Amino acid sequence: MLTAEDKKLIAQAWEKVKAHKDAGAESLERMFMSYPQTKTYFPHFDLHAGSEQVRNHGKKVLNALDSAVKNMDNLSQCLSELSNLHAYNLRVDPVNFKLLSQCLQVVMAVHLGKDYTPEVHAAFDKFLSAVAAVLAEKYR
C-alpha cells in the first residue's frame, strides 16, 4: 500500500524522470542486455541500442507509467487495457514486468543521481511492484 508520502515522492521523482525522453528506451535496452530471454517477445524489432523501434516502445512504456503515476489510487482500471493486451494478445511472461521495473530503477538512479534517495527508491519499488501485479492480474 502506498502511503501519502510515497505518492508524493513518486510524483516528484517521476516529473524528473519523464523529462529524460529516452528513459523508457534505456530501460528496455538494459533489460534486453541483462535478460536476453526477454528479446523473444520482440522478434520483429531491431533491438540494437538506439533503434527507432526500441525508442518508440520506450515512449509507450513511459506513457503508460505516466498514466499510472497520475492514477496511483486506481491502477487496476488505469492499466486494465494494457493488462488485457499483454495477457491475451502478446502473452508476455509476467516475470518480465518485474525485470523491466528493476531496469527502470537503475535508469532512474543514473538520471536522478543524489535525488534518487533510499526513500524514493523504496516508494518506487512499491509502486512498480503494484504496477507489475496489476499487469499480471489477468494471468490468474
pLDDT digits (tens, 9 = 90+) for 112-122: 999 999 999 99
Domain covering 4-139, topology: Globin-like (1.10.490)
Cell of 88: 491475451
User: Average pLDDT in the 84-99 region?
Assistant: 78
Report the pLDDT value the prediction gives residue 114, as an integer from 0 to 100.
Answer: 97
Residue range 2-20, pLDDT digits in tens: 999 999 999 999 999 999 9
Residue 140 pLDDT grade (very low, low, confident, very high; cuts 50, 70, 90): low
Report the pLDDT value the prediction gives residue 135, as an integer from 0 to 100.
Answer: 87
Does residue 79 contact residue 134 with C-beta atoms inside 8 Å?
yes
| Cα–Cα distance measured from residue 10 to residue 4, given in angstroms and rounded to the nearest whole number | 10
| Cα–Cα distance measured from residue 107 to residue 101, given in angstroms and rounded to the nearest whole number | 10
| Cα–Cα distance measured from residue 70 to residue 80, given in angstroms and rounded to the nearest whole number | 15
| Cα–Cα distance measured from residue 15 to residue 5, given in angstroms and rounded to the nearest whole number | 16
pTM for the model stands at 0.91
